[in-house]
Amino acid sequence: MKKVIRFLACFGLDAIALVYVRIALVGEYLQKKRISYLNKRLLSRVRAKGKGVRLNGTIICTSPENLELGNNVHINGNAYLRAEGGLYIGDNAHFSRNLTIYTINHDYSGEALPYDCRYVKKSVRIDKNVWIGMNVCIIPGVQIHEGAIVGMGAVVTKDVPRCAIVGGNPARVLKFRDIEHYERLDREGKYGGVNGALL
């Protein structure tokens, strides 16, 4: 957009450049309104939704009637959630961009190769106070226990222990949170909201 404006300005076409900027701003505004509408519609279809749920950006969720969201759940843009097998997300769970969660997979042991039209469903459970970084993939049947942190780019192929910090592909335990510190903050009800600001 900046290149077009500079090009038009070089020829003394500032008025046209200004119109171009206004059109671009209106388009951006309409896109944000469209995403907001789609996210509200998605939230109206979920099985259960707590208070303070925030969907920031484009979220795709198949079978939202199988999705349960706790309080203060934040999911950022470009998330892809396949909830057919059941997806539970507990209180204060925060997710960065480009999250992928699958609760179903093709049946490769069926009647066709490489797989047939049937699906194998396995629920995913993400407990309270979980923080998941950018570009994380979670496969069917996994449980991420409370207080866990999943690092950027991790592929979660098995259960994550309570308060574990995991990363890599496949995700493995790197270390654990300070349990006493975690439990004290949880007992005192000190939870982060938008950008970690205390609720």
- The domain limits of the chain are 1-45, 49-196
Residue 64 token pair: 């939202």
Please tell me the predicted confidence (pLDDT) of residue 16.
Answer: 59
The model carries a pTM of 0.86
Please tell me the predicted confidence (pLDDT) of residue 196.
Answer: 84
**C-alpha span between 8 and 102 (Å, rounded):** 47
Order of all β-strands in the sheet with 79-82: 59-62, 79-82, 100-102, 137-138, 155-156
Please tell me the predicted confidence (pLDDT) of residue 177.
Answer: 98
Which are the catalytic amino acids? 106
Question: Please, what is the average pLDDT of the chain?
Answer: 91
- Nearest CA to 123 among 169, 171, 66, 79? 66
Query: Which long-range contacts (C-beta less than 8 Å, at least 24 apart) are formed by 150-158?
Result: 152/96
- 49-196 is classed CATH 3.30.420.40: no
122 band by pLDDT with thresholds 50, 70 and 90? very high
Beta-carbon-side half-sphere exposure of residue 174 (alpha carbons within 13 Å): 14
pLDDT 10s digits, 64-90: 999 999 999 999 999 999 999 999 999
Is the predicted pLDDT of residue 63 greater than 70, yes or no? yes
